[in-house]
Structure 1
Amino acid sequence: MSHDQQVDTPRAPDSPGGWDPRSEELVAEAALVREPAAWRGTVAGAAGTGPAKPARRGAVDPVKALMHRHRELCERAVDPLEIAAGLEAHGVTDRTAARFRHRDVFALAEEMYARVPRDEEERGAPAPAASRRGPEGPTGWALFALLPGAVCGLAAAGVELSAGHTRYAVGLGGALAVAAALRVALRRGPLRAARHVPPATHAWSCFLVAYALFGDGLLRAALSGGPDGPWAPSTAAALALSLAVAPAVWCARLFAAGARRRLSLSRGLADFTSAVRPLLLGTVALYVCALGALLVGAGAVYGVPASAGAGALGALLLLARLLSSYGFLRAPLLMLGAAGAVEVVCLASVFAARLPGVAWLAAPVEEAVRAWGPGAVPVVACGAAAGVLLLHCLRVLGRASAHGDGAP
Structure 2
Amino acid sequence: MPEHPESRAPRTRASGTAPAAPVRRGTGDPVKVLLHRHRELCERAVDPLEIAAGLEAHGVTDRTAARFRHRDVFSLADELYARVPRDEGRAHDRAPAPDTPAPDASADGAGVRPGRRRTAWPLTALLPGAVCALLPAAHTRASGPLLLAVTAVGATALGAALVLAVRRGPLRPPARAPFATYAATLLLVLYAAYGDGLVDQLLRGGPEETWPPATAPLLGLAAAVFPAACCVRLFAVRAGGLLAGSRGLDDFTARARPLLLVVVALYLLALTGLLAAAPLLPGTRPGPLVPAAALGALLFLARLLAVHGFPYAGAAALAGAAAAEALACLTLLIGRLPGCDLVALPVRRTVETWGAGAVPGAVCGAAALALLAHSAVVLARASAHART
Shorter-chain TM-score range: 0.7 to 0.9
Structure 1: which amino acid aligns with 2:264?
V
1:147 to 111, 127, 140: 127
Is 1:389 aligned to residue 371 of structure 2? Answer: yes
Comparing 298-307 and 311-320, the one that deviates more: 298-307
RMSD between aligned residues: 2.6
Question: What is the match of residue 270 of structure 2?
Answer: 290
Which sections of structure 2, spanning at least 5 residues, go unmatched?
A: 1-13, 92-101
Question: What is the match of residue 310 of structure 2?
Answer: 328
Comparing 78-87 and 164-173, the one that deviates more: 78-87
Question: What is the match of residue 77 of structure 2?
Answer: 109
Question: What is the match of residue 7 of structure 1?
Answer: none
Question: What is the match of residue 248 of structure 1?
Answer: 228
Question: What is the match of residue 42 of structure 1?
Answer: none
In the alignment, the residues of structure 1 paired with residue 250 and residue 60 of structure 2 have an alpha-carbon distance, to the nearest angstrom, of: 14
In the alignment, the residues of structure 1 paired with residue 17 and residue 330 of structure 2 have an alpha-carbon distance, to the nearest angstrom, of: 53
Question: What is the match of residue 261 of structure 1?
Answer: 241
- Report Cα offsets for 1:220-240 as digits up to 9, x if no partner: 111111111111111111111
Question: What is the match of residue 31 of structure 2?
Answer: 63
- Report Cα offsets for 1:214-255 as digits up to 9, x if no partner: 001000111111111111111111111111111111111111
Comparing 20-29 and 233-242, the one that deviates more: 20-29
Question: What is the match of residue 186 of structure 1?
Answer: 166
Comparing 102-111 and 318-327, the one that deviates more: 102-111
Q: How many residues of Structure 1 are paired with residues of Structure 2 in the alignment?
A: 354
2:289 to 288, 292, 307: 307
Comparing 323-332 and 87-96, the one that deviates more: 87-96
Is 1:346 aligned to residue 321 of structure 2? Answer: no
In the alignment, the residues of structure 2 paired with residue 130 and residue 314 of structure 1 have an alpha-carbon distance, to the nearest angstrom, of: 29
**TM-fit CA distance, 1:79:** 5.8
Q: TM-score normalised to the size of structure 1?
A: 0.80
**TM-fit CA distance, 1:110:** 4.1
- Larger gyration radius, structure 1 or structure 2: 1
Question: What is the match of residue 221 of structure 1?
Answer: 201
Please tell me whether the aligned partners of residues 141 and 188 of structure 1 are also in contact (alpha carbons under 8 angstroms).
yes
Structure 2: which amino acid aligns with 1:393?
S
Q: CA, structure 1 residues 205+304, in 2 after alignment: closer, same or farther (shift >3 Å)?
A: closer
1:65-104 correspondence runs (5 A): 65-75=33-43, 80-94=48-62, 96-97=64-65, 100-102=68-70, 104=72
In the alignment, the residues of structure 1 paired with residue 311 and residue 103 of structure 2 have an alpha-carbon distance, to the nearest angstrom, of: 27
Comparing 101-110 and 356-365, the one that deviates more: 101-110
Please tell me whether the aligned partners of residues 81 and 269 of structure 1 are also in contact (alpha carbons under 8 angstroms).
no
In the alignment, the residues of structure 1 paired with residue 334 and residue 17 of structure 2 have an alpha-carbon distance, to the nearest angstrom, of: 57
In the alignment, the residues of structure 1 paired with residue 349 and residue 285 of structure 2 have an alpha-carbon distance, to the nearest angstrom, of: 26
In the alignment, the residues of structure 1 paired with residue 191 and residue 238 of structure 2 have an alpha-carbon distance, to the nearest angstrom, of: 35
In the alignment, the residues of structure 2 paired with residue 181 and residue 164 of structure 1 have an alpha-carbon distance, to the nearest angstrom, of: 26
**TM-fit CA distance, 1:111:** 3.5
Structure 2: which amino acid aligns with 1:286?
L
- Report Cα offsets for 1:104-154 as digits up to 9, x if no partner: 4345334424544579xx9xxxxx994779414332111110011111112
Please tell me whether the aligned partners of residues 321 and 363 of structure 2 are also in contact (alpha carbons under 8 angstroms).
yes
Structure 1: which amino acid aligns with 2:375?
C
Is 1:135 aligned to residue 110 of structure 2? Answer: yes
Structure 2: which amino acid aligns with 1:228?
E
Is 1:278 aligned to residue 258 of structure 2? Answer: yes
Please tell me whether the aligned partners of residues 215 and 287 of structure 2 are also in contact (alpha carbons under 8 angstroms).
no
Question: What is the match of residue 28 of structure 1?
Answer: 22
Which sections of structure 1, spanning at least 5 residues, go unmatched?
A: 1-19, 39-55, 123-127
In the alignment, the residues of structure 1 paired with residue 19 and residue 203 of structure 2 have an alpha-carbon distance, to the nearest angstrom, of: 62
- Report Cα offsets for 1:309-330 as digits up to 9, x if no partner: 1110010000001111111122
In the alignment, the residues of structure 1 paired with residue 254 and residue 47 of structure 2 have an alpha-carbon distance, to the nearest angstrom, of: 19
- Report Cα offsets for 1:70-125 as digits up to 9, x if no partner: 33543565764442212012232345445545564345334424544579xx9xxx
Q: Give 3-state SS (helix, strand or coil) of 1:27's partner.
A: coil
